[in-house]
Structure 1
């Protein structure tokens, strides 16, 4: 067993001080005094937080999910632990069927043979079932109509499908997914009307991918997808880099959605944690400069955000307390993909996914299922 002492333990509704966190592979106890014969970790007054969960990330440290290699997934996994992320969904893009399926196969291998870095929880499939009008940085060459046949062999590993409901004729794909799988449907890259988006939500679409970005906007005559997102009970992803959305919008969304339904994500591409320069995303050239990743025409192409920074940005720009901001990147994403019984908080019996952060959310220690994988405090 191991214990963490001298830390501020982040709980869902409070911060505990002068307590000891006891764990092995699972969280064992939170108590007043460390049991005997335990390895002791001194948190040095830092926040002892549940590990962060990124449900939307394409790449980092020069590698991308669509590289289709186990090495690329391992690089991404090892990059994320430096920012306190303990589990994530590698996210695909609109590319040809063979490339997408190859990425699925590699992710399946990474899930069954986790040996390093952050845990791979499954696949977030973003595209190719999207609307070309709001394609963003997705390649229009590979955009197709929603097809259950396309994903039927991978329903065991796909956790989220981000799609445009208006291109789903008669909502047949939506109905097939909700009837035959446990996959979460998330609305994205969409020109859907308010009414159409609400209809998809009523049929089971439960998430909105990167709220405000690549979707029909809020208008007083047609509230669009943004209006449907704010006026229904769906989870809403946000890329809190202060580039994809103005920081003053954070509190507006919080006021309308409540803190239980916002999920912070990075949507990071391969330039995450790298220097400015020229990179690639989905077969297109991306230029990274001053924390912004864009195509040649200026279109935002994912981000270079880290999830701990997203938490700090949101905390700094809203009236949330730090433990509430951390929940947007821990228990909320866990709930959204139905793994809250295992991950997302420091409850007794859950996986010992733990991160230590300072007041600005810089990460100093990361523990994945009880194993120390990153340490900057030694």
Structure 2
């Protein structure tokens, strides 16, 4: 654990944090210091930099990194965004995420009716820019019935004017939007239209073949939602969604809770990418994360069973993990290089969502939202 400072850093105008190593969003740098002035980063450099002279110092034993960025958070601390899509729910979840090291996130609203989507959008508009909310992720409803997972079939529908108008309104307000859809369910040109609006299109909950995936990528789709889950697997003669994704330059979200994807498969997937650093770590967190051991979704009880979140049929229904624990597992259990794992939870998602100027890095002028990991990659402190 870090040595406690002898000053209140929250009330100190200018202070400095020395760490054994600092991850700046790109690389790990040993024996570095981050200078904070009025809540923003003033400098990142050597511990003996003259800019730090005379400032109160917190000496942290471990690795300092940018606050984590999670693009797929369904709920937390006992709340689900789908169940109560209002501003209070977002503030409640955001506060719990911040305590656990996630300082930027996309509230994720899964397949539901058009009026409920509109209600969720109003909540996003009310909270955007606070409590770490930097955009929104609509996971559905324009997905495959065959690959719907825990999504409710009755709300699955083709892309319609209700969704298009809703997304256009959010984009007009400069709110980043991630939309997960099944490409085989969309009319030709629909994905291109969404991308022209500034929507980040992700392929997921899909039964598409590789040819359909390639067409979607050609129209501008740039991401895959929770790779390996809710999609056609890779085969020897048909690459499927998984094979097409891994062989593409697109971003791929992955859940590293030890249940959704086997560790060996994660290692192979991360090594296989033709373009470096196009993997994004997501939690897919549900209400049980930092909350009670069960919750209701679509009127069905979802429970934690031996670390897995399952519905009444025993199928996976989201994840019971936060992003900091995911980073720890990726490094200590899966064996991924720490700098690469940290990029997957900071700078990579920021690049995907066009937010690298605001989150995912430690550099001068950016908000001093930071996390400190201990020697075992457990979360030691957050700022």
Normalised by the length of structure 1, the TM-score is 0.90
Q: Which moved more, 1:345-354 or 1:203-212?
A: 345-354
- Deviation readout 1:12-69 (Å, 9 max, x if unpaired): 45322332211233321123336345343231x1211111100001000101112122
> Residues 13 and 123 of structure 1: is their aligned pair in 2 closer, same or farther, counting only changes over 3 Å?
closer
- Aligned residue number for residue 167 of structure 1: 185
Q: Which moved more, 1:317-326 or 1:217-226?
A: 317-326
| Cα displacement (A) at 1:274 | 2.5
Decide which of 202, 206, 209 is 1:193's aligned counterpart.
209
Q: How does 1:123-202 map to 2 (within 5 A)?
A: 123-150=136-163, 151=166, 152-155=168-171, 156=173, 157-170=175-188, 172-179=189-196, 181-202=197-218
Decide which of 80, 84, 104 is 2:121's aligned counterpart.
104
8 Å CA contact 2:300, 2:312 repeated in 1: no
Residue 289 (str. 1) matches residue 305 (str. 2): yes
Give the Cα–Cα distance (whole angstroms) in 2 for the partners of residues 283 and 201 of structure 1: 36
Over aligned residues, Cα RMSD in angstroms?
Answer: 1.7
- Aligned residue number for residue 4 of structure 1: 17
Residue 271 (str. 1) matches residue 288 (str. 2): yes
> Residues 6 and 311 of structure 1: is their aligned pair in 2 closer, same or farther, counting only changes over 3 Å?
closer
Give the Cα–Cα distance (whole angstroms) in 1 for the partners of residues 63 and 276 of structure 2: 20
The residue matched to 2:341 in structure 1 has which SS? helix
Aligned length: 359
Q: Which moved more, 1:221-230 or 1:347-356?
A: 347-356
Normalised by the length of structure 2, the TM-score is 0.89
The residue matched to 2:128 in structure 1 has which SS? helix
| Cα displacement (A) at 1:86 | 0.8
- Aligned residue number for residue 230 of structure 2: 214
> Residues 111 and 194 of structure 1: is their aligned pair in 2 closer, same or farther, counting only changes over 3 Å?
same
- Deviation readout 1:250-299 (Å, 9 max, x if unpaired): 110111126501100011111112343x3122443212222111111122
Q: How does 1:36-47 map to 2 (within 5 A)?
A: 36=53, 38-43=55-60, 45-47=61-63
Give the Cα–Cα distance (whole angstroms) in 2 for the partners of residues 158 and 94 of structure 1: 19
Residue 229 (str. 1) matches residue 245 (str. 2): yes
8 Å CA contact 1:293, 1:304 repeated in 2: yes
The residue matched to 1:272 in structure 2 has which SS? coil
Decide which of 42, 46, 50 is 1:28's aligned counterpart.
42
Give the Cα–Cα distance (whole angstroms) in 2 for the partners of residues 37 and 108 of structure 1: 43
- Deviation readout 1:223-271 (Å, 9 max, x if unpaired): 1111110111010000000100011111101111265011000111111
8 Å CA contact 1:51, 1:330 repeated in 2: yes
| Cα displacement (A) at 1:321 | 2.5
Give the Cα–Cα distance (whole angstroms) in 1 for the partners of residues 118 and 376 of structure 2: 39
- Deviation readout 1:83-142 (Å, 9 max, x if unpaired): 211100000011111111111111111115x2xxx4100110101010100000000011
